[in-house]
Chain A
Amino acid sequence: MNLRNNMITLKRKDYDSIVEYAKEQLPAEACGLIAGTVDGNGDKTVEKVYLLTNTDDSSEHFTMDPKEQLSSVKDMRANGIAPLGNWHSHPETPSRPSDEDKRLAYDSTASYMILSLMDKENPVLNSFHIEGTNSNKEDLVIV
């Protein structure tokens, strides 16, 4: 039984890209993918973030553009990195998975990052492991 939270490491420049892009998309939610490597302990290192189009163009929902998903997956392969999960923003709500986020989290091996922009000057990014209706916060390290 795994009693420790998995760690996920994100580069500062990638964090900044996510925040900048998410602010540009306001008042809509922003979304994207994360890719990188996983070590033997299950700890993840994000090597690249992808900034995708929210085809819902909504402040309360997001759907990633499937064509951009496809091109992102191909880019990951070309760069020898693996899909690690996705990220999206919550423009007006906290950084925690909503019921809809949990319902639509089909991959229990993925990391789900959520950026809260409730306080635009102090964004909050957390990463979650979601399995069914349960979610655990992962240890997110920004370097």
Chain B
Amino acid sequence: MKITVSGKEKEYSEGITIKQLIEAENVENPLYVTVTLNDEFIQSSEIETAVIKDGDSIEFLYFMGGGC
């Protein structure tokens, strides 16, 4: 199936979960990454079970914060 990952079209097997995609994409520091699936923010509890479908668009956003 074809999906869009961070703006780039890619080919992945049917049934892949977001967690598996994070591993396949070698996302660094995954604990600090927020995932969107078709512009919807995915709860961390859903990362392991949410299945990606053909045509889906996924974004990985790093938590950005700090303090003085």
With A70-B36, A77-B7 in contact, is A62–B65 under 8 Å at CB? Answer: yes
Does A88 have its Cβ within 8 Å of any Cβ on chain B? yes
Interface of chain A, helix or strand or loop or mixed?
Answer: mixed
Interface string of A51-74 (1 = CB under 8 A from B): 000001011111110110110011
* Category for how many chain A residues contact B: 20 to 34
* Category for how many chain B residues contact A: 10 to 19
CB of B61 within 8 A of CB of A88, answer no
CB of A69 within 8 A of CB of B64, answer yes
Which residues from B are CB-within-8-Å of A70?
A: 36, 39, 59, 61
Which residues from B are CB-within-8-Å of A61?
A: 65-68
CB distance from A78 to the nearest CB of B (A): 10
**Interface residues of A, Cβ cutoff 8 Å to B:** 29, 31, 33, 56, 58-64, 66-67, 69-70, 73-74, 77, 86, 88, 90-93, 97-98, 100-101, 104-107
**Interface residues of B, Cβ cutoff 8 Å to A:** 7, 28-29, 32, 34, 36, 39, 41, 59, 61-68
